[in-house]
Structure 1
């Protein structure tokens, strides 16, 4: 029998365990691998749509849907490309930005769910986030796709970042670093229409971005002290670090607080009240691998 996207999804789903994706395995569980409901939640899709995909009744998933499924299923690059072809789509082409997150990074995130970590593509679109990120910064799943771009949030909308509440930043290292990143990305990914459109949009929408771009603004990412003004606990002072992953162009933005500090107590309170445990796998329902 010829393989279809549905049969491939079922096969890939069967090989993952709940622990692989940060879910708690309940006693008496009989299902092999992930349930359809779990895959749907991880990919940000409806259960009915996943069922129709696997049964072959949904014939034309979008590239965005396929990207979400391949991330949720922790596929390797060749498997990801195979999924695109089975869906009748061209895999991401050379010279365009990849949103693929390596399986090793996804397994790491599943075990770091209590830490606020956001994963961004090279053009600073938020791809996925941990439950800890949603607890501290606000759940991004309610935002539209174009509202999840950090450069757009910082320059075009006047926001302090991809948050539901204010973030007070010390210093001015972020803006030149974002401009430098986009300038480098435009050289590395000349065929990516989304990236070129983003740059043109920001040049038109933000006089500051246009000025920094025309001046050739550059700057490395450095550790920064930021204060999140959370509606439940007030100010939470965090250290923000931007980490890169060798071999791929994704960035991990990680927020941490000093152990034993009042800020650590506030963050722990938010974790507990939102059901994010620091002593075991993160529970479902907090958008660990939400759709972009």
Structure 2
């Protein structure tokens, strides 16, 4: 436990929170920036004396419960939460779960790529954002439930036409393998997450192929640089694949672009006009 660093960190974070941020009046006699120590203690449901000793580097090591209450009171980010735990000599436990909320700037980015099909996937392989061209190339995700937007479930459990992979992709086997590897890695980051536990159990029960891949414990994912979609309206569409990590939310932006001047670029241009209005053929 680094008492001095912990004390400084708590003081600085306390001073940056305005009383109005937590529903407290500023008052005419407030002399200190941010919150008072007694106010943080009240918000954290701990004694003012104990919190004061923490800021004076005189307190014993706080418990995980106390740290969790201080995190909430000081409105710390996930990175600040982890830092607080390390300063207190109590390494943080596993994160509670990945975020499904996509930043507005990322959503705006997707729609500023009119010649590219782009989606955002969560750590559990759920499609959580997309642009119009992605809906035209793959399927109209807005018409699907959350359950049906999970690409691992769709890849192994369907539904898709007899003899066809999901969206008719050329790398169906490789996509299935890499998705299992990413899901296996996610299970280590979120070992007790009920949604992930239920998804894995469902896949193990419903797919022998998934069970075989899961049993290998592989977590090294090789990047896919190019793939071909067999589209029911425009035929084969070969695209370059680029993946951007959103590390703070454990999300990935997947961008599909066609080589300029290629037949696939023309196919994407046609899809951007047709949209999803005639995409009633299962992918």
Give TM class, smaller chain.
0.5 to 0.7
Does the CA contact (< 8 Å) of 2:110 and 2:119 recur in 1?
A: no
Aligned to 1:187: 188
Could you tell me how far apart the structure 2 residues matched to 1:117 and 1:201 are?
A: 28
Aligned-partner SS, 1:169: coil
Note the residue ranges of structure 2 that are not aligned, 5 or more in a row: 1-76, 79-93, 278-283
Aligned equivalent of 1:223: 224
The residue number in structure 2 matching 1:103 is 104
1:133-152 equivalences in 2 (<5 Å):
133-152=134-153
Q: How far apart are 1:171 and its partner, in Å?
A: 7.3
Deviation at 1:269, TM superposition (A): 1.6
How far the C-alpha of 1:159 sits from its partner, in A, is: 4.4
Tell me the secondary structure at the aligned position of residue 197 of structure 2: helix
Q: Summarize the Cα distance change of 1:107–1:141 in structure 2 as closer, same or farther, 3 Å threshold.
A: closer
Measured in 2, the distance between the counterparts of 1:269 and 1:263 equals 10
The aligned counterpart of 1:173 is 174
Name the structure 1 match of 2:88. Answer: none
Deviation at 1:99, TM superposition (A): 0.5
What does 1:1-292 correspond to in 2, within 5 Å?
Answer: 94-157=95-158, 159=160, 166-170=167-171, 172-274=173-275
TM-aligned CA distance change 1:171 to 1:144, over 3 Å: closer
Q: Indicate if the aligned counterparts of 1:239 and 1:257 stay in contact, CA closer than 8 A.
A: yes
Aligned residues: 184
2: CA distance between counterparts of 1:145 and 1:171?
A: 22
Larger Rg: 2
Q: Which structure would you say has the larger RCO, counting Cα contacts within 8 Å and 6 or more residues apart?
A: 1
The answer to whether the 8 Å contact 2:155/2:165 transfers is: no
Q: Are the aligned partners of 1:173 and 1:221 in contact in 2 as well (CA < 8 Å)?
A: no
Please state which structure has a larger fraction of its residues in helix: 2
* Cα distance in 2, alignment partners of residues 262 and 217 from structure 1: 36
Secondary structure of the residue that 2:125 maps to in structure 1? coil
Taking structure 1 as reference, are residues 102 and 199 closer, same or farther at Cα in structure 2, changes over 3 Å only? same
Q: Determine helix, strand or coil for the equivalent of 1:97.
A: coil
State the distance in 1 between where 2:233 and 2:248 align. Answer: 39
Does the CA contact (< 8 Å) of 1:165 and 1:228 recur in 2?
no
Distance (Å, rounded) in 2 between the aligned partners of 1:180 and 1:165: 18
Q: Residue 118 of structure 1: SS of its match in structure 2?
A: strand
- Partner Cα separation in structure 2 for residue 185 and residue 251 of structure 1: 13
1-side partners of 2:175 and 2:154: how far apart? Answer: 12
Contact 2:158–2:166, Cα closer than 8 Å, also in 1: no
- Distance across 2 between alignment mates of 1:206 and 1:165: 15
Give 1:107 deviation, angstroms.
2.5
1:9-46 per-residue CA deviation (whole Å, 9 max, x = no partner) reads: xxxxxxxxxxxxxxxxxxxxxxxxxxxxxxxxxxxxxx
Asked if the contact 2:169/2:229 (under 8 Å) is kept, the reply is yes
TM-score using structure 2 length = 0.58
SS in 1 for 2:248: coil
Structure 1 distance, partners of 2:241, 2:117, is 10
1:247 aligns to what SS in structure 2? helix
RMSD: 2.9
Structure 1 residue 257: deviation in Å?
0.7
